[in-house]
């Protein structure tokens, strides 16, 4: 199924539900994929599926992405195995639990490292590569939780706010160039990460819907993609709520 315009794609956190659904869309187009994640058994399951769906080639690498030791060398090795780089998706993360983060600063620090610090490092490495090449697409999954700190999840939200700001800066840096930076801000998504949360109702999206929104965002070169789109409106309101009202809300 290898096609002339087959893209070389690096997926960091390839076993996350959103990343996997997005990779399926790319596999069907005959792209080459490098999947990075912690669990080799899960990576193999995803790789076999993407291969069957038409990917030109699927490579895997086992790695703890929250750990940034020798990140530059690791990144270079992924790119070398892929034979170049057209698109990067940074998709790993951990929702964590706000109460745990408050009680245990080690957990808090680990969450910040996973969701912000390491993610910023991988994004910067991709940006450097694309700057040299003069072209490329960087997509990272942030969250609507980063739009305003709230009592129910500010540890997670703060990390995602940092990532959103980092991506905004990268998009600013590459404005007017062929390099595309897309910051994806999903709302509630029905994935294993949210398995413990009661679901249902119109606010919940499937990872398939989010993956399709990401594809559209890339095609339109949007700096920020709220998915589903109505979260843009919800967050606009939440960001602008006067503090006396905001303070009374249990969100």
Partner 1 sequence: MSGASVRDDDGILAWGRVHRGRHRVAAPVWPGELEEAARASAGEGGATLARGLGRSYGDSGLNLGGGLVDMTGLDRAIAFDRAAGVLRADAGMSLDAVLRLCVPAGWFPPVTPGTKFVTLGGAVANDVHGKNHHVAGSFGRHVRRLGLWRSDRGLVECGPDTEPELFAAAVGGLGLTGIVLWVELALLRIGSAAVTVQNDRFGGLDDFFRLSDESADWPYTVAWVDTLATGENLGRGVFSRGRHAVHGPLDPHRAGGPAVPVDAPGFLLNRWTVGAFNRLYYAKPGSAFRGEQPYDPFFYPLDRLRHWNRLYGPRGFYQWQGVVPPATAKDAVQVLLGRIARSGEASFLAVLKNFGDAASPGLLSFPMVGTTLALDFPNRGGRTLALLGDLDRVVAEAGGRLYPAKDGRLPAAEFRRGYPAWRDLEDRRDPMLLSSFWRRVSQDG
Residues that bind partner 1 (CB under 8 A): 17, 28, 41-42, 45-46, 48-49, 52-54, 192, 195-196, 198, 200
Q: Is 195 or 219 the residue whose CB approaches partner 1 more closely?
A: 195
- When the beta carbons of 95 and 224 are compared against partner 1, the nearer one is 95
Q: Which is nearer to partner 1, 38 or 148 (CB)?
A: 38
**Which position among 78, 92, 156, 226 bears the catalytic label?**
156
Q: Is 156 a catalytic residue?
A: yes
C-alpha separations of 152 from 73, 79, 86, 98, 205 in Å: 38, 39, 38, 6, 20
128: helix, coil or strand? helix
The 3-state DSSP class for residue 98 equals helix
Given a contact cutoff of 8 angstroms between Cβ atoms, the answer to whether 157 and 146 are in contact is yes
| Cis-peptide into 98, omega within 30 deg | no
CB 28, min distance to partner 1, A: 7
The SS3 call for residue 170 is helix
What distance in Å separates the CA atoms of residue 49 and residue 236, rounded to the nearest whole number?
38
Pairing state of beta strands 204-205 and 188-189? parallel
78: left (phi over 0), alpha (psi -120 to 50) or beta: alpha
Q: How far is the CB of 244 from partner 1 (least distance, A)?
A: 37
Q: How far is the CB of 198 from partner 1 (least distance, A)?
A: 8
As measured in angstroms, the least distance from the Cβ of 250 to partner 1 is 22
Two tokens, residue 11: 């997926």
* Cβ–Cβ under 8 Å, residues 119 and 140: yes
Count how many Cα atoms sit within 13 Å of the Cα of residue 140 in the half-sphere of its side chain: 28
Q: How far is CA 7 from CA 76, 178, 179, 199, in A?
A: 17, 16, 15, 36
Closer residue to partner 1 in complex, CB, 134/198:
198
Nearer to partner 1, 25 or 59 (CB): 25
Q: Catalytic residue numbers?
A: 156
């Amino acid at each position: 199924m290898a096609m002339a315009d087959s893209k070389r794609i690096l997926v960091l956190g390839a076993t996350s539900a959103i990343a996997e659904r997005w990779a399926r869309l790319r596999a069907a187009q005959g792209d080459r994929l490098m999947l990075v994640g912690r669990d080799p058994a899960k990576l193999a399951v995803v790789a076999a599926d993407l291969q069957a769906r038409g990917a030109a080639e699927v490579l895997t690498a086992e790695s703890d992405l929250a750990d940034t030791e020798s990140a530059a060398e690791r990144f270079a090795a992924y790119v070398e195995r892929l034979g170049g780089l057209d698109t990067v998706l940074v998709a790993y993360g951990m929702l964590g639990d706000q109460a745990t983060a408050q009680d245990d600063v080690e957990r808090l620090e680990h969450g910040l490292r996973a969701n912000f610090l390491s993610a910023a490092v991988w994004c910067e490495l991709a940006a450097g590569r694309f700057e040299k090449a003069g072209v490329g697409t960087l997509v990272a999954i942030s969250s609507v939780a980063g739009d305003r700190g709230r009592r129910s999840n500010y540890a997670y939200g703060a990390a995602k706010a940092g990532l959103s700001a980092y991506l905004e800066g990268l998009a600013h840096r590459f404005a007017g160039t062929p390099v595309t930076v897309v910051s994806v801000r999903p709302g509630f998504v029905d994935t294993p990460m949210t398995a413990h949360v009661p679901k249902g109702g119109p606010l919940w999206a499937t990872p398939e819907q989010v993956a399709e929104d990401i594809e559209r965002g890339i095609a339109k070169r949007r700096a920020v993609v709220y998915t589903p789109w109505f979260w843009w409106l919800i967050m606009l309101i939440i960001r602008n709520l006067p503090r006396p009202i905001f303070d009374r809300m249990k969100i």
